[in-house]
Amino acid sequence: MRGPTAHAARIARERLRLQTAAGGDPAPDISVQLAELTRAIHAADDADPIAALARRLDVDRRSEDFLAFVIACCTDPVCAAALLRLQGSSAQHGPTIASYVSVSGAGDDARELALELATTHPLVETSILETRSDPGVTPVLRLWSVSPRVARQLTGDTAVAEPLQTVTVPELALFDEEQRHILDALGRALASDRPLTILMEGPTGSGRATAVAAAAEGLARPVAMLALDRIDRTPEALEHGLRALRRETALAGAIAVIRGLEELDGADETARRRRLEHFIGTARQPMVVISSLAGQSIRVPGEIVRADWTAPGTAARRNMWSVLLELHDPEHGLSDLDLDELGHRYSLGPGAMRDAIATAKLAAGRKQLTMAGVVSALRQRTTERLTGLTTHVRVRQEWSDLVVAQDTRDQIQALISRVRHSHQVLERWGLEQRVGRATGVAALFSGAPGTGKTMVAGLVAKELGLDLHQIELSQVLSKWIGETEKQLAQIFDAAGTGHCLLLFDEADALFTKRTEVKSSNDRHSNLEVNFLLQRMEAFRGIVILTTNLDSSMDPAFKRRLASHIVFWPPDDDERDRLWKSYLSSGLPVAQDLDIDKLVRNYPDLSGAHIRNAVLNAAFAAATRGGIVTQAALESAARNEYATMGRVLARDGRIR
């Protein structure tokens, strides 16, 4: 018999037994019918989903028989009606062991099972069987039921229950050579018949869960995933998700995947992390735990296998873009799309590529897919991932607004050239293999406040066609151990795959020198710096750090910089250009302005101070209903000196 026939035989048997026990007229040949149905059930053992579940959980025949009884009472109207006559109104919450004894005549075996169900039993541990009865209720009188998910499985419906997700292999699964080696090892680990924790580390969007599904496909097993970032941050929500995951592994033989271990970092997550570790530690089969943070630790008994999953290499990414774009838009082909640029700039897995193409196609409508449309979709994805951690800065200035020394301007252009030609120099010319570390670009802009550091970061991003994301240190820095690292990991992951420009303004707050450990605070601070060093070492994107005091920064950071540009305070000529630049922007100004006097009398004003002085003088003029005068500018300049803690005498001398 096939599965449905076996299930039908079980239902038919329970109908006969229940109707007889409930006082119905027994059929003359009831014993013969029951024997035939029992033989049919046993004959279909290999195709019987209940028998398969019993084997998977390694439970005996009495447990299997009771499970079938509960399923029949909860899913079949005839059985439910008979149970209501036998057990009374409580039957609406499921049958008891006492009712099962009346129906099956199991006697002592059933009462022994009742005690096991009340303590520890695989059917209860996996949430296949559930009870609403209070713990104080006598075991034989406890009410048992099955979840709707169990009932659906018996009818061939394999859809997982919330909050789980099914992970499948796309029709066109793309992996590079290095990833295929990891897949082979992953498949061997998942085929193990012993408990095993596989800790899979890699950036978000690189295809980690898809890789597990591909390995599981070779074992003919489904994959059920609990994404910790998709559930409420409460112990109850985690418990609900873990119960569903354990039930799915038992019910469908699914490979269990838990994604987002980094979500449980931090001192306030201790309870949830311990619950997760207990869940993993009591698993009966290999389990995969996915983290976007490298070097995660997890306290579980038994063997832990680490799998370092990386995004595909540049050449492989180019090929993936080619295949996926042809697949999604065969009518127009690749059009003006620059596959080399997409492969080099965006360190993505095929799943993220598919999402970007789908978003771009939706925006394009009936029009042809363009490079600009795909890049816009990729930028949107990056911005969404960085929301709450960075500020997306809109750059309005132009290069003509920048007033710096020529050697500083030359250094800025050299930095831009390094980013622009990195693909040619590092990959086409083969220097990437000799560099020995990540091919990202990190630059430090140091100098006094107001000298143009942040402005230049924006101009660099604009010149390179990149979005500028400024890190909000108030959102990133945390007093909780591990929380800062988690936030920074999210930022680096998103920026690394999205090819935006990261700006750490006042970076000395994060990249400070490591100190001798004299307290737990020192140790924690040093760990944060070490983490940042590791991420900077592995980062493939572009990051600019600004600081007013570069001497406070850890020397190890400086050694990793592609460029260190010092922004000096403006000299007389540069201040003259700055005053004239701001005053020539359409302001109504007096004819007798003496720019030379402003330059000569206020030598310590930076570009930002001059901008502020002009703005304040302009607002004062608007308030008076007049024009910007020399007196207003000098008054505003004096106020800027006051904000710097400097005082000017009336004769113009600095005190």
pLDDT confidence of 482, banded at 50, 70, 90? low
pLDDT tens per residue, range 557-606: 788 788 999 999 999 999 999 999 999 878 899 999 999 999 999 999 99
**Would you say the CATH fold of 399-567 matches that of 165-308?**
yes
Q: Kindly state the average pLDDT of the residues 503-531.
A: 65
Alpha-carbon distances, residue 433 vs 59, 420, 425, 428 (angstroms): 55, 19, 11, 11
> What percentage of the chain reaches a pLDDT higher than 90?
43
Query: Residue 613 has what pLDDT?
Result: 95
**Is the pLDDT confidence value at 3 over 50?**
no
* Residue, of 556 and 319, whose pLDDT is higher: 319
Q: Which residues pair with 201 in a beta bridge?
A: 291, 308
pLDDT tens per residue, range 119-162: 889 999 888 999 989 988 999 999 999 988 988 887 778 888 88
Q: Kindly state the average pLDDT of the residues 298-313.
A: 87
Distance CA 486, CA 252 (A): 34
Q: Kindly state the average pLDDT of the residues 240-252.
A: 92
**Is the pLDDT confidence value at 495 over 60?**
yes
Q: Take residue 434 and report the two structure tokens written for it.
A: 């000799």
User: What ranges do the domains of the chain cover?
Assistant: 3-150, 165-308, 314-384, 399-567, 572-643
Query: Residue 89 has what pLDDT?
Result: 93
SS (H, E, C) 316-340: HHHHHHHHHHHHHCCCCCCCCCCHH
Query: Residue 511 has what pLDDT?
Result: 75
Q: Kindly state the average pLDDT of the residues 302-321.
A: 87
Q: Take residue 535 and report the two structure tokens written for it.
A: 């991420």
> What percentage of the chain reaches a pLDDT higher than 70?
91
Weakest mean pLDDT among 1-5, 172-176, 395-399, 589-593: 1-5
Helices and strands (H and E) in the chain: how many: 29, 14
| Alpha helices for 365-499 (secondary structure H) | 371-386, 406-420, 422, 432-435, 453-464, 473-476, 483-498
Cis amide linkage into residue 148, ω under 30° from 0: no
Q: Which residues contact 514 (CB under 8 A, 6 or more apart)?
A: 525, 526, 529, 530, 554
Query: Residue 163 has what pLDDT?
Result: 92
Residue 445 · residue 470 · CB < 8 Å? no
**Is the pLDDT confidence value at 337 over 80?**
yes
**Is the pLDDT confidence value at 194 over 90?**
no
Weakest mean pLDDT among 372-376, 442-446, 558-562: 558-562
Query: Residue 277 has what pLDDT?
Result: 93
**Is the pLDDT confidence value at 454 over 90?**
yes
Residue 302, Ramachandran bin (φ over 0: left; ψ between -120 and 50: alpha; else beta):
left
Query: Residue 332 has what pLDDT?
Result: 57
Q: Which CATH architecture has domain 165-308?
A: 3-Layer(aba) Sandwich (3.40)
Query: Residue 172 has what pLDDT?
Result: 66
Amino acid symbol at 462: K
Q: Kindly state the average pLDDT of the residues 36-61.
A: 84
**Cα–Cα–Cα angle for 122, 124, 130, nearest 5°?**
155
Residue 183, Ramachandran bin (φ over 0: left; ψ between -120 and 50: alpha; else beta):
alpha
Q: Which CATH architecture has domain 572-643?
A: Orthogonal Bundle (1.10)
Distance CA 470, CA 504 (A): 6
**Is the pLDDT confidence value at 455 over 70?**
yes
Query: Residue 654 has what pLDDT?
Result: 55
Query: Residue 1 has what pLDDT?
Result: 38
Half-sphere exposure of 623 (CA within 13 A, CB side): 7
Q: Which residue has the tokens 């099955």?
A: 146
pLDDT confidence of 432, banded at 50, 70, 90? low
Q: Domain 399-567 classified CATH 1.25.40.10?
A: no
Task: Count CB neighbours of 383 within 10 A.
Answer: 16
Q: Which residues pair with 196 in a beta bridge?
A: 286
Q: Kindly state the average pLDDT of the residues 420-434.
A: 75
Query: Residue 346 has what pLDDT?
Result: 86
Q: Which residue has the tokens 């059009």?
A: 335
pLDDT confidence of 52, banded at 50, 70, 90? confident
Average pLDDT, the chain: 86
Q: Take residue 289 and report the two structure tokens written for it.
A: 């735990």
Q: pTM higher than 0.75, yes or no? A: no
> What DSSP string describes 268-282?
GGHHHHHHHHHHHHT
Q: Which residues contact 49 (CB under 8 A, 6 or more apart)?
A: 3, 6, 7, 153, 154
SS (H, E, C) 544-584: EEEECCHHHECHHHHHCCCEEEEECCCCHHHHHHHHHHHHC
Distance CA 444, CA 446 (A): 6
**Is the pLDDT confidence value at 190 over 90?**
yes
pLDDT confidence of 522, banded at 50, 70, 90? very low
Element (H, E) at 624: helix 607-624
Distance CA 390, CA 471 (A): 4
pLDDT confidence of 508, banded at 50, 70, 90? confident
Query: Residue 479 has what pLDDT?
Result: 65
Query: Residue 651 has what pLDDT?
Result: 57
Q: What angle in degrees, to the nearest 10, is found between the helix axes of 97-104 and 61-75?
A: 100
Q: Which three-class secondary structure state does DSSP give residue 296?
A: coil
pLDDT tens per residue, range 14-39: 999 998 888 866 667 788 888 888 88
Q: Kindly state the average pLDDT of the residues 387-407.
A: 91
Going across the sheet that includes 563-567, the strands are: 390-393, 468-471, 501-504, 542-547, 441-447, 563-567
Q: Kindly state the average pLDDT of the residues 396-417.
A: 93
Q: Kindly state the average pLDDT of the residues 265-292.
A: 88
**Is the pLDDT confidence value at 4 over 50?**
no
